[in-house]
């Protein structure tokens, strides 16, 4: 029988190997923050690295590019090397640069090469809209009608994707595949290894949007042979709003000129020759475009230090324990209130958050926030609850369920309009 006592949650916290990392973060006062899969919290280390970058600018001015503790000219490469273990990649395959969508545009411009009847891009109906917008615009730039040339695999249940359905959609007309590593709504982890293997059997380049998986689950992109990947750094990586994103390009694709070239696509030793013929970098740096956004990259230095110390395997273990505990309490304490757990139960398929559905989801989220719990609403009726391994506790999970139970019993949510705010 499920142990529903708070003392049990406290005992789990006492056994937590990652408990000390909670002290590294600025925790909102009198608040249980469960929206780290949208925006991670600020850590003291990240704050210090921002201050260090400002000091470097203050004291070195233009010489900051090559001097100081973190020379700016090589910062993207350093951050790429620090990020590589989180996705199972080699340092030269990873670069911190651009934004999620800019990196997808770069990757598509570089790897989508329609020829003959191979003209179609394969995606899915559950992906985040920005990826689909980018893919449609790339098709239009090449003169193709997105309605015909963007194939989106449908979900049978509205929450998850079938590996078999995706594989069956890999036809001899498919030229390029982009899929999420973890679905942003339901948190389903896709079988990236199998999908890559099947795509390569058909000679189709394939890659993944890792926005909801990096920092949450382990990956082995190089071992699996994934062609490319891209991600943001402000969710589980806790690098701050608008922080610089990342991209991965498998080593077999290095030493090629990128589809979208820019000054920072250059080999480092050639960049300041100012030649009008690009000599691309021999690593993933070739897929950079413009000057690094240094103040927006600096927080990653602090955040990634913590990931190095904690280890992604331990983070994943605790994350699964937190979400499992959440689901058990939901089923024990919230029976009869109309909630449906819509995320995968299987640990191999479950990402870093719990996804509930309820007809009054928008107003329930407002009521939770009023009572000090920060959830995430997803239209039309989804509630995402993300207990982050580095700073959330089992006790917070227990307290959230008690608050939610009170909200439902007393019908406090009825005081709110069942519509999302400007930002959800």
Residue with tokens 């001899």: 172
Percentage of the chain beyond pLDDT 90 is: 97
Q: Is the pLDDT of residue 419 over 90?
A: no
Query: Is 263 marked within a binding site?
Result: yes
Q: What average pLDDT does the segment 180-200 reach?
A: 98
Please report how the helices 312-333 and 6-14 are oriented relative to each other, as an axis angle in degrees rounded to 10: 180
Q: What average pLDDT does the segment 236-250 reach?
A: 98
Instruction: Say if residues 70 and 52 touch (Cβ distance below 8 Å).
Output: yes
Q: H helices of 117-241, where?
A: 129-141, 146-149, 163-168, 192-201, 221-224
Q: What average pLDDT does the segment 192-208 reach?
A: 98
Class of domain 6-43+311-413 as given by CATH:
alpha beta
Residue with tokens 């189709």: 204
For the segment 405-416, what is each residue's pLDDT rounded down to a tens digit? 999 999 999 999
Q: How far apart are CA 99 and CA 110, in angstroms?
A: 16
Query: Is 234 marked within a binding site?
Result: yes
Q: Is the pLDDT of residue 424 over 80?
A: no
Torsion over CA: 200, 205, 206, 211 (sign): positive
Torsion over CA: 347, 349, 354, 356 (sign): negative
Reference 421, options 361, 372, 373, 371; nearest CA is 361
Q: How far apart are CA 229 and CA 247, in angstroms?
A: 6
Q: What pLDDT is attached to residue 315?
A: 98
Query: Is 130 marked within a binding site?
Result: yes
48-309 CATH, one of 3.65.10.10, 3.40.50.20, 3.40.640.10, 3.40.50.720: 3.40.640.10
Q: Is the pLDDT of residue 423 over 90?
A: no
Task: Find the largest Cα–Cα distance for the chain.
Answer: 71
For the segment 123-175, what is each residue's pLDDT rounded down to a tens digit? 999 999 999 999 999 999 999 999 999 999 999 999 999 999 999 999 999 99
Q: What pLDDT is attached to residue 4?
A: 83
Average pLDDT, the chain: 97
Q: How far apart are CA 182 and CA 177, in angstroms?
A: 15
Reference 362, options 342, 345, 378; nearest CA is 378
pLDDT band for position 41 (cuts 50, 70, 90)? very high
Which residues are marked as active site?
128, 209, 234-235, 384
How many residues make up the chain in this entry?
Answer: 424
Q: Helix, strand, coil: what percent of the chain each, to 5?
A: 45, 15, 40
Q: What pLDDT is attached to residue 421?
A: 79
Query: Is 129 marked within a binding site?
Result: yes
Q: H helices of 311-411, where?
A: 312-333, 361-370, 394-409
Residue ranges, CATH 3.90.1150.10, the chain: 6-43+311-413
Q: How far apart are CA 108 and CA 252, in angstroms?
A: 17
User: At 226, which helix (H) or strand (E)?
Assistant: none
Q: How far apart are CA 218 and CA 7, in angstroms?
A: 31
Q: Strands 120-124, 376-378: parallel, antiparallel or unpaired by DSSP?
A: unpaired
Number of H helices, E strands in the chain: 13, 13
Query: Is 165 marked within a binding site?
Result: no
Query: Which residues are registered as beta bridge partners of 249?
Result: 228
Residue with tokens 């009054």: 360
Q: Is the pLDDT of residue 182 over 90?
A: yes
Q: How far apart are CA 95 and CA 92, in angstroms?
A: 8
Query: Is 233 marked within a binding site?
Result: no
Spatial CB neighbours of 129, under 8 Å, sequence gap ≥ 6: none
Q: Is the pLDDT of residue 380 over 80?
A: yes
Global confidence as pTM: 0.96
Q: Is the pLDDT of residue 292 over 80?
A: yes
Q: How far apart are CA 342 and CA 382, in angstroms?
A: 9
Residue ranges, CATH 3.40.640.10, the chain: 48-309
Q: Is the pLDDT of residue 1 over 70?
A: no
For the segment 321-355, what is each residue's pLDDT rounded down to a tens digit? 999 999 999 999 999 999 999 999 999 999 999 99
Query: Is 145 marked within a binding site?
Result: no
Using alpha carbons, list the distances in angstroms from residue 129 to 39, 126, 174, 180, 183. 18, 9, 21, 11, 12
User: In this predicted model, which residue has the larger pLDDT, 93 or 1?
Assistant: 93
Q: H helices of 225-339, where?
A: 294-310, 312-333
Angle at 400 between CA 15 and CA 310, to 5 degrees: 35
């Amino acid at each position: 029988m499920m142990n529903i006592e708070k003392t049990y949650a406290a005992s789990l916290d006492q056994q937590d190997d990652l408990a000390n990392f909670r002290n590294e973060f600025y925790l909102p006062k009198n608040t249980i923050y469960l929206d780290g899969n949208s925006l991670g919290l600020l850590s003291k280390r990240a704050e210090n690295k921002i201050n260090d970058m400002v000091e470097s600018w203050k004291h070195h001015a233009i010489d900051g590019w090559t001097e100081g503790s973190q020379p700016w000219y090589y910062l993207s490469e350093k951050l790429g090397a620090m990020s590589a273990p989180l996705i199972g990649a080699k340092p030269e395959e990873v670069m911190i640069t651009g934004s999620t969508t800019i990196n997808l545009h770069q990757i598509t411009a570089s790897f989508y090469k329609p020829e003959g009847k191979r003209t179609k891009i394969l995606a899915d109906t559950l992906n985040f809209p920005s990826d689909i917008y980018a893919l449609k615009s790339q098709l239009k730039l090449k003169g193709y009608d997105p309605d015909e040339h963007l194939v989106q695999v449908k979900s049978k249940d509205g929450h998850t994707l079938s590996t078999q359905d995706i594989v069956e959609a890999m036809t001899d007309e498919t030229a390029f595949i982009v899929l999420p590593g973890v679905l942003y709504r339901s948190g389903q982890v896709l079988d990236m290894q199998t999908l890559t293997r099947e795509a390569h059997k058909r000679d189709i380049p394939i890659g993944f949007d890792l926005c909801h998986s990096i920092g949450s689950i382990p990956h082995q992109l190089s071992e699996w042979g994934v062609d490319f990947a891209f991600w943001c750094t402000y969710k589980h990586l806790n690098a701050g709003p608008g922080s610089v994103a990342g991209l991965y390009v498998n080593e077999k694709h290095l030493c090629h000129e990128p589809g979208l070239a820019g000054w920072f696509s250059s080999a480092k030793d050639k960049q300041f020759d100012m030649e009008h013929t690009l000599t691309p970098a021999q690593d993933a740096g070739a897929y950079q475009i413009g000057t690094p956004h240094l103040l927006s990259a600096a927080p990653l230095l602090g955040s990634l230090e913590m990931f190095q110390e904690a280890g992604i395997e331990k983070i994943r273990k605790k994350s699964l324990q937190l979400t499992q505990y959440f689901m058990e309490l939901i089923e024990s304490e919230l029976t009869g209130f109309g909630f449906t757990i819509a995320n995968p139960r299987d640990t191999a398929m479950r990402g870093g958050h719990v996804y509930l559905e309820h007809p009054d989801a928008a107003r329930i989220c407002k009521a939770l926030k009023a009572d000090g719990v920060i959830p995430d609403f997803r239209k039309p009726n989804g509630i995402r609850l993300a207990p982050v391994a580095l700073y959330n506790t089992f006790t917070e999970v227990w307290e959230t369920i008690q608050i939610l139970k009170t909200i439902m019993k007393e019908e406090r949510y009825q005081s709110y309009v069942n519509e999302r705010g400007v930002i959800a």
